Amino acid sequence: MTLLLTLPALLLLALVFAVPLLRYGWLSFHADSVITGLQPLPNGGANWLRLIEDERFWQDTVQTLRFAGLSVALELLLGLALALLLHQSWRGRTALRTITLLPWALPTAVMALGWRWIFNDPYGPINGLLQVLGQPALPFLSSPASTWLVVVLADVWKTTPFVALLLLAGLQSIPTDLYEAFALEGGTPAQALRRITLPLLLPYAFLAVLFRLAQALGVFDLVQILTGGGPAGSTETLALYSYLSAMRFLDFGYSATVMLGMFVLLLGLTAVLLLGRRLLAGGRA
């Protein structure tokens, strides 16, 4: 009877999550593009063979992993620092918590354009500052290396507050008498951070990394608007590639295959993360 109450929600969930993935599985074994008149025709494993030999797919995989790895690492470090700052009791920390939340609340799509303007050559404020200092303006968004870093910066700016809040919840869950006992035993604050805070924070950090890594691997809004994948495809991610395959090249069969390729990557990384956590937990027990 009570199972009935869950049914409407579970139906919508199945429609939104399960049906698409099954559909991609089916589409990935069909040619469905302009060439076939946008009709799906079975083509065996041609899409998958193409995927394996597709240099663009592998290049985008590397770029996506690189972006996700650096972004999440920075978010974890800065998020921890911010959480420690917000955890201390001082006047104004509630106000600061509200202010740090603002970047997280704004639409990625909107701030992506904001960053494009901030790094504009030569009229953006960063280049304005450089020129005031007597330096030449830098074309930040024309060279692959600096464009990539701008994308990372925009992501870190937006999502560090989220990581910080998760870690803050973790900090607040640690009983204070633990620290008192540790201090009585003659432990220094630095030792307490290493011996008490960080180990007890681990489950929260793990959850933050899991969530952020999955989201960062699917990064789309940011690159589509900030760089369009450029210059020369150097910031294109897998999500953007599959989007372009479908919406620009109208190759739906291959787009579905790219998305499934990304899904497999995601599953693999999650498995590694779960295994890593188990090893870490086992090592301490």
Among positions 253-272, residues that touch other proteins (CB under 8 A) are 255-256, 259, 262-263, 266
Give the Cα separation of 116 and 107 in Å (integer): 15
The single residue among 42, 44, 45, 125 that binds other proteins, judged by CB under 8 A, is 125
Determine the longest span between alpha carbons in the chain, in angstroms: 77
- Using CB under 8 A as the binding rule, whether residue 170 contacts other proteins is answered as yes
- Using CB under 8 A as the binding rule, whether residue 115 contacts other proteins is answered as yes
Q: Which stretch binds other proteins (CB under 8 A): 14-22, 52-60, 174-182, 277-285?
A: 14-22
- Using CB under 8 A as the binding rule, whether residue 111 contacts other proteins is answered as yes
Give the Cα separation of 199 and 211 in Å (integer): 19
User: Minimum CB separation from other proteins for residue 89, in Å?
Assistant: 11
- Using CB under 8 A as the binding rule, whether residue 217 contacts other proteins is answered as yes
Indicate the residue among 91 and 186 with the shorter CB distance to other proteins: 91
Q: Point out which residues pair with 113 in neighbouring strands.
A: none
Under DSSP, is residue 114 helix (H, G, I), strand (E, B) or coil? Answer: helix
Q: Which stretch binds other proteins (CB under 8 A): 49-57, 142-150, 169-177, 189-197?
A: 169-177
Give the Cα separation of 118 and 151 in Å (integer): 12
Indicate the residue among 84 and 178 with the shorter CB distance to other proteins: 84
How many other C-beta atoms can be found within 10 angstroms of the C-beta atom of residue 245? 22
- Using CB under 8 A as the binding rule, whether residue 113 contacts other proteins is answered as yes
- Using CB under 8 A as the binding rule, whether residue 198 contacts other proteins is answered as no
Going through the chain in order, the beta strands assigned E by DSSP cover 30-31, 41-42
The single residue among 37, 53, 55, 88 that binds other proteins, judged by CB under 8 A, is 88
Among positions 36-75, residues that touch other proteins (CB under 8 A) are none
The single residue among 37, 39, 55, 105 that binds other proteins, judged by CB under 8 A, is 105
Give the Cα separation of 222 and 40 in Å (integer): 31
Q: Which residue has the tokens 């919406």?
A: 247
User: Minimum CB separation from other proteins for residue 196, in Å?
Assistant: 18
The single residue among 166, 229, 236, 244 that binds other proteins, judged by CB under 8 A, is 166
- Using CB under 8 A as the binding rule, whether residue 120 contacts other proteins is answered as yes
- Using CB under 8 A as the binding rule, whether residue 201 contacts other proteins is answered as no
User: Minimum CB separation from other proteins for residue 279, in Å?
Assistant: 20
Indicate the residue among 48 and 263 with the shorter CB distance to other proteins: 263
Dihedral in degrees, nearest 10, Cα atoms 165, 170, 172, 176? -150
Q: How many chain residues are in contact with other proteins, going by CB under 8 A? A: 84
Residue pair 239/30 in contact by the 8 Å Cβ criterion? no
Phi then psi for residue 243, to 5 deg, are -65, -45
CA-based nearest residue to 67, from 162, 144, 165: 144
How many other C-beta atoms can be found within 10 angstroms of the C-beta atom of residue 3? 7
The single residue among 15, 35, 183, 275 that binds other proteins, judged by CB under 8 A, is 15
Indicate the residue among 58 and 117 with the shorter CB distance to other proteins: 117
Answer whether the bond into residue 231 is a cis peptide, omega within 30°: yes
